[in-house]
């Protein structure tokens, strides 16, 4: 079995590696499940990744839904947030309803919702909260919207008041959007300083800017999604002293993977995180237990 701070060599080792850390399993805050017609379009986009991103992006877990769920169980994922996101108006409400129904039939999934700047957004966000949503997704890049849009102000307020973590893709990676950037989302946080925001992909490529927001606002977190993996290091590498930079906010770093839409196996992300833990004495196994289970479980109010 791999040593705790070396990470699992492959997917078959994940469950035993996690048990070696004294954890009951993993909690993954950044996983994607979508209605099949929507997911098919997402995968079709990745099939042309070389046109969009300048690099190939083969979907490693291109499997039927039931098999994807079973994969997560094999890895020892005890809880996860199935994130949905719209790219145009009149999608967010029904995607949120789909996510709630998905969570009803998959025990490991927590109910989630999403937002889009449109009339009625506050109403369907309120309804999602009342129906038990425990996480939200805001994809500024794909949605091509300004998170500062006045239409979203009440929705941000509702999510902040409820303490529901919002996983926000607001960084410029993998390609900049019309309204991406830590400075732009920083204005949202200035208006809603109690918002529990999880900056997806640690804000890549502006890792420093994302950390500034973590230090400025006590409810801001970073997720590990694709950060530090060999695939991403070729494109948007973390600073060489990344483990030292996160040591003083280690309890606000949470596991995210982007499963199933990743071009490598699940274990690769865990090895990247284990590498950070091994490179700074202030991290180590305590950090691994926090990032892989304790911190995301706290955010998702997960007790399974």
The closest of 269, 165, 183, 275 to 221, measured between CA atoms, is 165
* Long-range contacts of the stretch 213-220 (C-beta < 8 A, 24+): 213/182, 213/185, 213/186, 213/189, 214/249, 214/252, 215/249, 216/186, 216/189, 217/189, 217/193, 219/194, 219/195, 220/189, 220/195, 220/196, 220/252
Kind and range of the H or E run holding 142 = helix 140-143
The closest of 28, 29, 25 to 198, measured between CA atoms, is 29
pLDDT in tens, 256-292: 999 999 999 999 999 999 999 999 999 999 999 999 9
pLDDT at 1: 44
Q: Where are the domains of the chain?
A: 11-300
pLDDT in tens, 125-173: 999 999 999 999 999 999 999 999 999 999 999 999 999 999 999 999 9
C-alpha 253, offset from chain centre = 11
Strand residue runs (E) in 101-186: 112-114, 135-139, 166-169
The pLDDT-based confidence of 304 (bands split at 50, 70, 90) is confident
> What does the alpha-carbon distance between residue 119 and residue 6 come to, in Å, rounded to a whole number?
49
pLDDT at 6: 84
Which tokens belong to 294?
A: 């304790």
Which tokens belong to 37?
A: 């017609």
> What does the alpha-carbon distance between residue 113 and residue 125 come to, in Å, rounded to a whole number?
7
Question: CA neighbours within 13 Å on the CB side: how many for 274?
Answer: 18
Place of tokens 């379009």: 41
pLDDT in tens, 191-226: 999 999 999 999 999 999 999 999 999 999 999 999
The closest of 247, 220, 244, 242 to 232, measured between CA atoms, is 242
State the angle between helix axes of 150-162 and 182-191 in degrees (0 to 180), rounded to the nearest 10: 70
pLDDT in tens, 93-103: 999 999 999 99
Answer yes or no: are the C-beta atoms of 27 and 255 closer than 8 Å. yes
Average pLDDT over residues 27-37: 98
Residue 239 DSSP code = P
The pLDDT-based confidence of 35 (bands split at 50, 70, 90) is very high
As separate numbers, helices (DSSP H) first and strands (DSSP E) second, the chain gives: 15, 8
Mean pLDDT of the chain, nearest integer: 97
State the angle between helix axes of 121-130 and 150-162 in degrees (0 to 180), rounded to the nearest 10: 10
pTM score above 0.95: yes
State the angle between helix axes of 207-216 and 182-191 in degrees (0 to 180), rounded to the nearest 10: 10
Answer yes or no: are the C-beta atoms of 274 and 26 closer than 8 Å. no
The pLDDT-based confidence of 303 (bands split at 50, 70, 90) is confident
Burial of 173 from C-beta contacts in 10 A (0-12 / 13-18 / 19+): buried
> What does the alpha-carbon distance between residue 1 and residue 191 come to, in Å, rounded to a whole number?
48
pLDDT in tens, 168-185: 999 999 999 999 999 999
Superfamily of the domain at 11-300: Metal-dependent hydrolases (3.20.20.140)
What does the chain come to in residues? 304
State the angle between helix axes of 121-130 and 92-105 in degrees (0 to 180), rounded to the nearest 10: 10
> What does the alpha-carbon distance between residue 38 and residue 56 come to, in Å, rounded to a whole number?
21
């Amino acid at each position: 079995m791999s040593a705790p701070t070396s990470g699992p060599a492959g997917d078959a080792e994940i469950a035993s590696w996690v048990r070696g850390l004294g954890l009951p399993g993993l909690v993954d805050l950044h996983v994607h499940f979508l209605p099949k017609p929507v997911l098919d379009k997402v995968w079709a986009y990745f099939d042309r990744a070389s046109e969009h991103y300048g690099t190939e992006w083969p979907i490693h877990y291109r499997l039927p839904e039931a098999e994807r769920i079973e994969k997560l169980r094999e890895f020892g994922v005890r809880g996860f947030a199935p994130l949905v996101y719209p790219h145009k108006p009149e999608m967010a409400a029904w995607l949120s309803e789909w996510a709630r129904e998905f969570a009803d039939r998959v025990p490991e999934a927590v109910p989630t919702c999403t937002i889009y700047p449109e009339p009625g957004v506050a109403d369907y966000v309120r309804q999602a909260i009342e129906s038990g949503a425990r996480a939200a997704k805001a994809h500024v890049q794909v949605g091509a919207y300004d998170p500062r849009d006045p239409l979203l102000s009440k929705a941000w307020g509702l999510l902040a008041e409820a303490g529901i973590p919002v996983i926000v893709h607001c960084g410029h990676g993998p390609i900049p959007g019309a309204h991406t950037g830590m400075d732009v989302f920083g204005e949202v946080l200035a208006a809603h300083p109690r918002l529990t925001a999880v900056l997806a992909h640690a804000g890549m490529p502006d890792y420093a800017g994302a950390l500034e927001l973590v230090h400025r606002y006590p409810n801001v977190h970073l997720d590990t999604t694709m950060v530090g993996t060999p695939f991403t290091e070729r494109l948007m590498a973390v600073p060489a002293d990344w483990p030292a930079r996160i040591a003083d906010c280690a309890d606000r770093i949470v596991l995210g993977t982007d499963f199933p839409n990743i071009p490598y196996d699940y274990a690769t992300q865990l090895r990247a995180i284990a590498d950070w833990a091994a490179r700074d004495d202030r991290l180590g196994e305590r950090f691994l237990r926090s990032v892989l289970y304790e911190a995301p479980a706290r955010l998702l109010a997960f007790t399974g």
